[in-house]
Amino acid sequence: MNLEILKQAVLDSRDGITISEPRGGANPLIFVNPAFERMTGYAFEEITGIDCRYLQRDDRDQPGIAVIRDSIAAGEYCLATLRNYQRDGTMFWNELSISPIFGDRGDVTHFIGIQKDVTARVLVEQQLIGKNRSLEENAGTLELMAMTDGLTGIHNRRFFDTQLGIQEKIARRNGTALTLILVDVDHFKAFNTHYGHPGGDGVLRAVAHSLNQSFTRSSDFVARYGGEEFAILSIGLSAENAGRFADALCRRIRSLRIPHEGAPGGLLTISAGYAVHTYTDAGQAARLVERADAALYRAKAEGRDRCAGEV
């Protein structure tokens, strides 16, 4: 198989992928993919060269840790679920599988780790089992809720702000473009006035779901930015493709054919403003937001139900 295809598959994987080397009882990381950075909040530069045991912090009394330690010592495959902690201290449940890679002489040269964030699944399982959870375990639910918009079920502004910094680092290191698309539901106040707040809430959920279903790559995500506004981040889009994607989003929402008597065309629509930037220096994310916001303002000023770009 073409090595470039394999490389792209690893970089676009929704799961965190790590490669480590066994060295004197430790297993320092030599590679992590972008999904691992997004999952943990740690940048590539911060975590390569050290053992990923830092993800458990002081929470070392976990059965899964012993399973992993014994399997690595024996050079065997293992699967364990651990309480891990992101860079900002947020706990998440990590389903970790580790597979040994053997050299020509039969010795283990590397370990491949596959990381899955299974927080939602574990919390549901805990509820079904009906265990009396401690305040510490309940904190996991609160942390998950803190990153999720309660109305629409997608990511919230806090998650977006965290990921914007992470995505900027990834884009800067790889020399790739970072695209931000800001979306605003057209004439939303008029919709609320005519159909009531329950109708408005239903529309926000429908728009959020439709936007969330539009992605094909793990690096893309949508968050509720505030009110009737949504934000979309994507790595690696060219300016031309960003424009096509933003226009497709407008058509996607229009195709829902949600009635809106307060809109000129009688249907619910959105306006989108996008900005594309290839990073060379740190700390430019705020400028990307400003440019996308200016593009959104222009799309609305030009009549809504359209996109505009700042490239």
Residue 128: the pLDDT is: 61
Residue 73: the pLDDT is: 86
Q: Final residue of a domain: which of 77, 108, 142? A: 142
Mark whether 133 and 166 lie in a shared domain: no
Say whether 228 is catalytic: yes
Residue 219: the pLDDT is: 64
- Per-residue pLDDT for the chain (311 aa), expressed as one digit of tens each? 567 887 888 888 888 999 999 887 778 899 999 989 988 998 888 888 888 788 998 898 898 888 888 888 888 888 889 999 998 888 889 999 999 898 888 888 999 999 998 887 777 666 665 544 454 555 555 455 567 888 888 888 988 988 888 888 888 877 888 899 999 999 999 998 888 988 999 999 999 999 988 876 666 889 999 999 999 998 888 889 999 999 999 999 999 999 999 888 899 999 999 999 876 566 678 889 999 999 999 999 999 999 999 86
Residue 186: the pLDDT is: 96
Domain region containing 242? 157-310
Q: pTM score, two decimals? A: 0.63
Mark whether 179 and 116 lie in a shared domain: no
Q: How many domains does the chain have?
A: 2
Mark whether 167 and 300 lie in a shared domain: yes
Mark whether 285 and 162 lie in a shared domain: yes
**List of residues 6+ apart from 129 with CB closer than 8 A:** none
Mark whether 35 and 101 lie in a shared domain: yes
Give a yes or no: residue 149 inside a domain.
no
Give a yes or no: residue 192 inside a domain.
yes
Q: What is the CATH number of the domain that holds 24?
A: 3.30.450.20
Give a yes or no: residue 25 inside a domain.
yes
Cα 77 from Cα 252, distance rounded (Å): 44
- Helix (H) / strand (E) element for 9: namely helix 3-12
Q: Final residue of a domain: which of 110, 142, 174? A: 142
Q: What is the CATH number of the domain that holds 167?
A: 3.30.70.270
Residue 135: the pLDDT is: 46
Tell me which long-range contacts 165-169 makes (C-beta under 8 A, separation of at least 24).
165/285, 166/37, 166/38, 166/41, 166/43, 167/38, 167/219, 167/233, 167/235, 168/279, 168/282, 168/284, 168/285, 168/288, 169/37, 169/43, 169/44, 169/282
Give a yes or no: residue 180 inside a domain.
yes
Q: Indicate the residue type of 264.
A: P
Please tell me which residue in 37, 143, 168, 228 is annotated as part of the active site.
228
Mark whether 161 and 304 lie in a shared domain: yes
Which residues in 276-286 are b (16+ Cβ under 10 Å) and which e? bbebeeeeebe
Nearest to 263 by CA among 214, 177, 191: 191
Give a yes or no: residue 302 inside a domain.
yes
Cα torsion angle, 148, 154, 157, 162, sign: positive
Q: Compute the half-sphere exposure of residue 137: CA atoms within 13 Å on the CB side of its CA.
A: 13
